[in-house]
């Protein structure tokens, strides 16, 4: 009998550890950043570099399925659903890799940072993600788009490629367009001359014909229904903001470059009281670095840089994480989402979700919390 009681107590202890480590508390909606986040079937949530779509009263979390060992994509883009952002049900693979040799999304490619938005006119769910082709490292730097009639998928790849071939950014001056900048004249990187040439559009020109590079990315749908693709371009040195067509499946050709040579990755964007805010990371691969923040009165700018929005201990390294998305819950209530990358076993990379707070002057800031409760008002 005593043995049974001891066993019972041990079991209770295990269950309560699981509960405190996983954000499962519906009533309290408790989030434990950087804890062990399991789905309702107690499987580790595998949805990295992700974003969340709110549709029909349900949150859909899309993210990279990452293997426990190795690097490239073996499965595809995962989807989880939840009514409360705490209890996540695995919906399966929203977009699967292809087993056909030569396909853009052939198994062994790299799919990163998927984001999904809903297109009202076509009633389609539209996913964009960063795609690298199998066996080519990170050189392809493509944007890919996939669609589905239902939120959780299955999604079908529409196409992948570089962005806006033949189009100059709106905010590149006539003088800059006329410059004869050639990469062979700037073979050595990081020199002052090279930096100046990058700022003036060295890589925009190099890639003009074939289209601009697109790696870390996010999507944003504005109040007027227009959608934008925001991505690290020009060898990850410069961010681009590009308008999507009304069906969200193509680029219109209208885009701007912001902070040329600023080396921004992992963009996450939201709008509060009419101001657009963007949080990014620096470029240090899987290693965390200091976040950056920018604001603008219009998506087309002018964009202004602010100090690091993270506050308190660990702020200089984004608490060990890298931004991926900012989820709006209501007018004044936003959740900052980041990944804590574990390159030795990417599947077990962890999640940091923290509330976005606002100073009196309206500037957002984010401070570490060991645990906190979601609210939806
Ligand atoms: C990071 C980037 C990730 C992934 C990684 C690969 O800088 O944000 O999305 O591309 O590099 O090393």
- The ligand 1 atom at the shortest distance from the C-alpha of residue 49 is 9
Residue 14 has pLDDT above 60, yes or no: no
- Taking only the tens place, the pLDDT of each residue in 320-360 is 999 999 999 999 999 999 999 999 999 999 999 999 999 99
Nearest CA owner, ligand 1 atom 9: 216
Q: Which protein residue's CA is at the shortest distance from atom 1 of ligand 1?
A: 285
Read off the pLDDT of residues 357-373 as tens digits, 9 standing for 90 and up.
Answer: 999 999 999 999 999 99
Question: What is the 3 state secondary structure string of 27-63?
Answer: CCCEECCCCCCECCCCCECCCEEEEEEEECCEEEEEE
Q: Give me 295's structure tokens.
A: 């604001």
pLDDT above 50: residue 10: no
Nearest residue (CA) to ligand 1, atom 12: 285
User: Residue 212 carries which DSSP code?
Assistant: B
- Indicate if ligand 1 lies below 6 Å from the C-beta of 112: yes
Q: Which pLDDT tens digit goes with each residue over 163-179?
A: 999 999 999 999 999 99
Give dist(CA 66, CA 75) in Å, integer: 8
Q: For residues 176 and 31, give the distance between their C-alpha atoms in angstroms, rounded to a whole number.
A: 48
Predicted pLDDT of residue 13:
38
pLDDT digits (tens, 9 = 90+) for 102-114: 999 999 999 999 9
Which residue minimizes the CA distance to atom 6 of ligand 1?
Answer: 285
Output the pTM of the full model. Answer: 0.93
Question: If pLDDT is split at 50, 70 and 90, which confidence band does 375 have?
Answer: confident
Task: State the distance from the centre of ligand 1 to the C-alpha of 78, rounded, in angstroms.
Answer: 18
Q: How far is CA 17 from CA 10, 82, 293, in A?
A: 11, 22, 36
Q: pLDDT digits over 244-261, tens only? A: 999 999 999 999 999 999
156 has pLDDT over 60:
yes
pLDDT of res. 19: 32
Measured in Å, residue 286 CA sits from the centre of ligand 1 at 6
Distances (CA, A) of 9 to 12, 19, 292: 5, 15, 47
* Digit-coded pLDDT (tens) for 120-145: 999 999 999 999 999 999 999 999 99
Q: From residue 112, give the alpha-carbon distance in Å to each of 80, 187, 300, 321.
A: 17, 29, 25, 16
Q: What pLDDT score was predicted for residue 269?
A: 98
Mean pLDDT score of the chain, rounded to an integer? 93
142 CB burial (10 A radius; 0-12, 13-18, 19+): buried
Taking only the tens place, the pLDDT of each residue in 17-69 is: 333 334 444 445 889 999 999 999 999 999 999 999 999 999 999 999 999 99
Q: What is the pLDDT at residue 29?
A: 82
Residue 230 CA from chain centroid, whole number: 10
pLDDT digits (tens, 9 = 90+) for 269-285: 999 999 999 999 999 99
Give dist(CA 295, CA 363) in Å, integer. 9
d(CA 75, CA 67): 8
Q: What is the pLDDT of residue 8?
A: 44
Q: What is the pLDDT of residue 24?
A: 41
């Amino acid at each position: 009998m005593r043995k049974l009681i001891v066993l019972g107590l041990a079991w209770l202890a295990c269950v309560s550890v699981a509960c405190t480590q996983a954000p499962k508390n519906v009533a309290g909606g408790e989030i434990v950043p950087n804890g062990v986040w399991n789905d309702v079937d107690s499987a580790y949530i595998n949805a990295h570099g992700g974003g969340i779509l709110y549709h029909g009263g349900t949150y859909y979390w899309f993210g990279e399925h990452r293997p426990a060992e190795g690097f490239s994509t073996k499965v595809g883009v995962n989807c989880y659903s939840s009514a409360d952002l705490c209890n996540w049900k695995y919906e399966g693979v929203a977009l699967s890799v292809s087993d056909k040799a030569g396909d853009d999304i052939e198994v062994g490619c790299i799919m990163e940072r998927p984001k999904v938005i809903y297109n009202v006119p076509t009633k389609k769910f539209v996913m964009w993600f960063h795609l690298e082709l199998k066996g080519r490292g990170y050189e392809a730097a493509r944007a890919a788009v996939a669609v589905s009639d239902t939120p959780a998928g299955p999604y079908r790849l529409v196409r992948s490629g570089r962005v806006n071939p033949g189009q100059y950014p709106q905010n590149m001056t006539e003088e800059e367009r006329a410059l004869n900048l050639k990469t062979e004249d700037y073979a050595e990187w990081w020199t002052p001359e090279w930096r100046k040439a990058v700022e003036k559009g060295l890589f925009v020109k190099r890639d003009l014909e074939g289209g601009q590079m697109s790696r870390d990315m996010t999507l944003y749908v504005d109040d007027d229904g227009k959608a934008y693709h925001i991505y690290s371009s020009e060898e990850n040195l410069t961010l681009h903001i590009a308008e999507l067509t009304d069906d969200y499946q193509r680029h219109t050709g209208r885009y701007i470059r912001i902070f040329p040579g600023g080396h921004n990755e992992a963009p996450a964007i939201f709008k509060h009281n009419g101001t657009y805010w963007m949080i990014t990371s620096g470029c240090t691969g899987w290693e965390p670095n200091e976040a950056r923040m920018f604001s603008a009165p219009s998506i087309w700018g002018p964009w202004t840089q602010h100090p690091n929005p993270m506050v308190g201990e660990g702020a200089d390294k984004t608490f060990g994480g890298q931004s991926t998305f900012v989820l709006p819950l209501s007018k004044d209530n936003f959740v900052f989402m980041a990944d804590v990358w574990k390159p030795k076993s990417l599947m077990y990379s962890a999640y940091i979700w923290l509330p976005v707070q606002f100073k009196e002057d309206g500037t957002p800031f984010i401070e570490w919390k060991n645990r906190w409760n979601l609210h939806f008002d």
